[in-house]
Amino acid sequence: MPRPKQRTQELRTHILQSAVGLIATNGVAEFTTRRVAAEASTSIPAMYELFGDKSGLVREIFFEGFRLLRRQLDALKSCDDPRADLVRLLEAFRLFYRENPAIARVMFSRPFPDFDPGPAEEEAGRSVREHFVQHVQRAIDTRILEGNPIDIAHVLMSLAQGMAAIEVAGWLGTSKSSIDRRWKLAIDAILDGLRPPARVRNS
């Protein structure tokens, strides 16, 4: 493949895709600007011009991950059952993590010590969390759940991140049926535990 000569948006996208592929194939330890440039068939100066430095490239992978996740969550259709919508939301998060484990690791595990998320990065994460909060609030309004919507959203996102990471690592089971069963068990345990107490009728 000929080496791209211009600092274009197409080159930027190509470098970003190459960087994600490199993390997925070789892991974080072998992620260097030199390796990414070679993988993208471009020069290190071109990469620095587009992303600033290695940290800037990692930051763009971080943002791209949250953009992709938010698009997937926004595409979900709501139904008349807020609990079913919450389950679908968690399943969509699971699917994203399973299909994009390298990006998800950058987003949630912070494997690069020289990348320190700042306010802009925190805002990207907040946009996804607010999506969870909206669904939780709907469930609270219809008395399917009870509690602080922000607290519950944090718990659900933590559950999804933890379960997805364990699944991708191969520690959640050896068959699809066992893995699905354990996901259902975890989700049901959380949602059932957050149900409001049954109202007692006055005799």
Residue type, 197: P
Give the pLDDT of residue 140: 97
Binning pLDDT at 50, 70 and 90, where does residue 155 land? very high
Report d(CA 97, CA 93) in Å as an integer. 6
Of 61, 93, 74, 71, nearest in space to 163 by CA? 93
Residue 121, φ and ψ in degrees, nearest 5? -70, -40
- CATH 1.10.10.60 residue ranges of the chain are 1-52
Looking at every residue in the chain, the average pLDDT score rounds to 89
More confident residue, 84 or 25: 84
Spell out the CATH class of 66-193: mainly alpha
Binning pLDDT at 50, 70 and 90, where does residue 4 land? very low
Q: How many Cβ atoms sit within 10 Å of the Cβ of residue 79?
A: 10
Binning pLDDT at 50, 70 and 90, where does residue 127 land? confident
Give the pLDDT of residue 83: 97
Give the pLDDT of residue 88: 96
Give the pLDDT of residue 200: 58
For domain 1-52, give its CATH number from 3.40.50.300, 3.30.470.30, 3.40.50.720, 1.10.10.60: 1.10.10.60
